[in-house]
Amino acid sequence: MNLSAAKKALEAGQLVAIPTETVYGLAANALNEEAVLEIFRVKNRPAFDPLIVHVASWEQARSLTQGVAPEVLAQAERLAKAHWPGPLTLLLQKSPEIPDLVTSGLPRVALRVPAHPLTLELLQMLDFPLAAPSANPFGYISPTRTEHVQRQLGDRIAGILDGGACRVGVESTILGFEQGRPVIYRKGGLSVEVIETLIGPVKVRAQSSSKPATPGMLKSHYAPRTPLVLGDLRELAQKYSGQRAGVLAFRQMLPGLPESRQRLLSPKGDLAEAAQRLFAAMHELDAMGLDVILAELLPEEGLGRAVNDRLRRASK
């Protein structure tokens, strides 16, 4: 699907999978309730889980907010000017123009400018923002390549705007404000450390919630259909020695198991590379007909924190 076909489909209230630097999104006109409702239907997503709204600029984001405290607006603008387009979502008081369905009835809307040239061009062609959660069935592994979307949702949507493999590979960091102070609700493609260099210390919320205040906060999320267990890989290999196991490792293969059933996230120990490869590796292992996937955590720093968040929520 090309840009003009994607524009036409979205204007007609249809769903289109769009590329971003993080993962592929399932996009619809954010101001069209019927189109947004179709996102929930196709993904089988619970209506209490809010959506992220994608915009072309900070100015467009501002136009979709209302009643934001001046000190919060100043911090948000500083972050947006530094990190948009990019893997940062800002949670701000919404204007009445944003349907309650998009925010699950909550007073704040999640906004971001994606850093992908095709989707940015599409957003600039449209007269409306795009609501776009990840383009996968709810709770399953996020898609970072077009084939992931095609396999999972291809026959249920108008088309896919092919932008190649996603550069960052994990979802955006979500940041909001409580009593004027910044709070990270979801660790993601922009590290906590980078954010703190710009605005100082931030509070980081626990990752799970049965009543999420923002997108991506549900405890069970990003999961393969094959059971995934976390821990020391050598100990897990002994524990599951009688089963057909696959391995998701950070830097080194696990001796004693076929290399064809193992995926390394970054042999050189690069956390950004590991984040970029995470979901594709999970998709590959999940397609092997395994009994179990054995996985290990990464160093709890930089993008390793976002990868670990996804692994913990994917584990059974």
pLDDT string in tens for the chain (316-residue length): 999 999 999 999 999 999 999 999 999 999 999 999 999 889 887 766 789 999 999 999 999 999 999 999 999 999 999 999 999 999 999 999 999 889 988 999 999 999 999 999 999 999 999 999 999 988 788 898 999 999 989 889 999 999 999 988 788 999 999 999 999 999 988 999 999 999 999 999 875 443 445 565 555 556 788 999 999 999 999 999 989 999 999 999 999 899 999 999 999 999 989 988 888 899 899 999 999 999 999 999 888 988 898 898 888 6
**pLDDT number for residue 218:** 54
Do 110 and 244 fall within a single domain? no
**pLDDT number for residue 215:** 61
Tell me the C-alpha distance between 5 and 157, whole Å.
Answer: 13
**CATH code (residue 83):** 3.90.870.10
Do 29 and 172 fall within a single domain? yes
Among 135, 170, 204, give the residue marking a domain's end.
204
φ, ψ of residue 45 in degrees (nearest 5): -95, 135
**pLDDT number for residue 208:** 44
**pLDDT number for residue 265:** 95
Alpha carbon 2 to chain centroid distance? 23
Structure tokens at 184: 């990270």
Tell me the C-alpha distance between 184 and 89, whole Å.
Answer: 10
Do 239 and 94 fall within a single domain? no
Where in the sequence is the domain holding 55, given as residue range(s)? 3-204
Tell me the C-alpha distance between 205 and 186, whole Å.
Answer: 7
Tell me the C-alpha distance between 291 and 299, whole Å.
Answer: 27
Alpha carbon 263 to chain centroid distance? 21
Q: Which residue reads 């709810």 in tokens?
A: 138
Q: How many domains does the chain have?
A: 2
Please check whether residue 209 lies inside any domain of the structure.
no
Tell me the C-alpha distance between 237 and 42, whole Å.
Answer: 37
**CATH code (residue 266):** 3.40.50.11030
Please check whether residue 52 lies inside any domain of the structure.
yes
Please check whether residue 212 lies inside any domain of the structure.
no
Do 35 and 130 fall within a single domain? yes
**pLDDT number for residue 221:** 58
Do 187 and 53 fall within a single domain? yes
Tell me the C-alpha distance between 290 and 272, whole Å.
Answer: 27
Tell me the C-alpha distance between 312 and 316, whole Å.
Answer: 9
Do 44 and 94 fall within a single domain? yes
Contacts of 6 by beta carbon, 8 Å cutoff, 6+ apart = 16, 18, 122, 159, 161
**pLDDT number for residue 207:** 57
**pLDDT number for residue 210:** 38
SS3 135: coil
Q: How many residues does the chain have?
A: 316
Q: Please tell me the number of Cα atoms within 13 Å of 52 on its side-chain side.
A: 30
**pLDDT number for residue 306:** 83
Please check whether residue 213 lies inside any domain of the structure.
no
**pLDDT number for residue 209:** 45
